[in-house]
C-alpha cells in the first residue's frame, strides 16, 4: 500500500528525502529545462529548502518516492512574494494560515495509472493536511497548462492575477481555499484519495 509521509524531521527516512530531491532534478531540470542549479549534479535544492520548509511525500509500498510537494510558510520569504509578486493583481496573500505549495513533483518513471494514483494521493493529502493543521489557503506559482489542471480538480481555486511570460514559460499565480468540504469536492471531480492511507509530512534542514 502506498503511503504519504507525516511527522517531524526524524520520521522521514533520509533515503526518501534524497529520492525526492533527485526526482525534482529529473523533472524540473532534466525534463522542463528550468535554469536552476543541481547540487552535486543529482539534487534540485534551492534557497527555500531550509528548516522552515515542509515536504509532503507519497511513497510506494517499498518506500520509494512517487510524488511530493514542498510547503513554505507565507509569513516569511517564499517564492511568490520574493520572486513573482507581479503575478498578483493585488497584495500577495500571506499569513500564518496560508502556505505556499511549490515543487509539486511526480516521479518520471511511474506508469500512467500510477502517476494518476500518486497525483490524487498528493492532492487529497494536501487537503487533509490543511484541514488538520488549520491551513485556510494555499498559494502557488505554476505554468499555465498545469494551472488549468489544478483549477479543474474541484476545489475552490482562483487565479490571483494575469499570467506573464517568464523565460520560455507562461506563469500564473493562484490561491486554493480549503474547507472541511474540500475532500468531497475533490472526490466529486474525480480526485480519488485512499482513506486507508495515512498522510506523512516531514521537515528537513537543508
Reading phi first (left if > 0) and then psi (alpha if -120 to 50, else beta), residue 50 is in beta
pLDDT digits 0-9 by tens, 103-127: 999 999 999 989 999 999 999 999 9
Cell of 45: 535544492
- Region 76-102: mean pLDDT is 97
**How confident is the model at residue 68, as a pLDDT?**
94
Q: How far apart are CA 204 and CA 18, in angstroms?
A: 11
Residue 14 binned pLDDT confidence (cut-offs 50, 70, 90): confident
DSSP designation for 52: T
pLDDT at 18 over 60: yes
Per-position b or e across 175-195, b if 16+ CB within 10 A of its CB = bbebeeebbebbeeeebebee
**How confident is the model at residue 92, as a pLDDT?**
97
Q: Which fold has domain 3-203?
A: Aminopeptidase (3.40.630)
**How confident is the model at residue 198, as a pLDDT?**
46
150-to-28, 73, 141 alpha-carbon distances in Å: 18, 20, 11
- Region 117-141: mean pLDDT is 94
| Phi, psi (degrees; rounded to nearest 5) at 74 | -95, 0
pLDDT digits 0-9 by tens, 152-177: 999 999 999 999 998 888 999 999 99
pLDDT at 204 over 60: no
Q: How far apart are CA 76 and CA 74, in angstroms?
A: 5
pLDDT at 6 over 90: no
Amino acid at each position: 500500500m502506498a503511503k504519504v509521509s507525516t511527522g517531524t524531521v526524524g520520521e522521514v527516512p533520509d533515503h526518501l528525502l534524497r529520492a525526492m530531491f533527485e526526482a525534482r532534478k529529473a523533472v524540473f531540470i532534466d525534463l522542463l529545462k528550468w535554469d536552476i542549479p543541481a547540487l552535486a549534479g543529482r539534487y534540485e535544492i534551492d534557497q527555500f529548502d531550509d528548516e522552515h520548509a515542509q515536504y509532503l511525500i507519497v511513497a510506494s509500498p517499498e518506500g520509494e518516492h512517487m510524488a511530493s510537494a514542498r510547503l513554505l510558510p507565507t509569513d516569511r520569504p517564499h517564492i511568490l512574494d520574493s520572486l513573482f509578486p507581479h503575478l498578483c493583481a493585488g497584495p500577495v496573500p500571506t499569513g500564518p494560515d496560508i502556505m505556499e505549495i511549490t515543487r509539486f513533483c511526480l516521479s518520471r518513471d511511474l506508469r500512467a495509472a500510477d502517476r494518476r494514483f500518486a497525483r490524487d494521493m498528493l492532492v487529497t493529502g494536501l487537503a487533509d493536511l490543511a484541514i488538520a493543521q488549520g491551513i485556510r489557503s494555499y498559494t502557488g506559482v505554476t505554468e499555465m497548462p498545469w494551472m488549468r489542471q489544478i483549477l479543474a480538480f474541484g476545489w475552490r481555486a482562483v487565479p490571483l492575477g494575469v499570467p506573464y511570460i517568464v523565460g520560455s514559460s507562461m506563469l500564473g499565480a493562484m490561491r486554493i481555499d480549503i474547507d472541511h468540504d474540500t475532500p468531497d469536492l475533490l472526490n466529486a471531480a474525480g480526485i480519488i484519495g485512499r482513506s486507508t492511507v495515512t498522510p506523512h509530512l516531514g521537515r528537513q534542514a537543508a
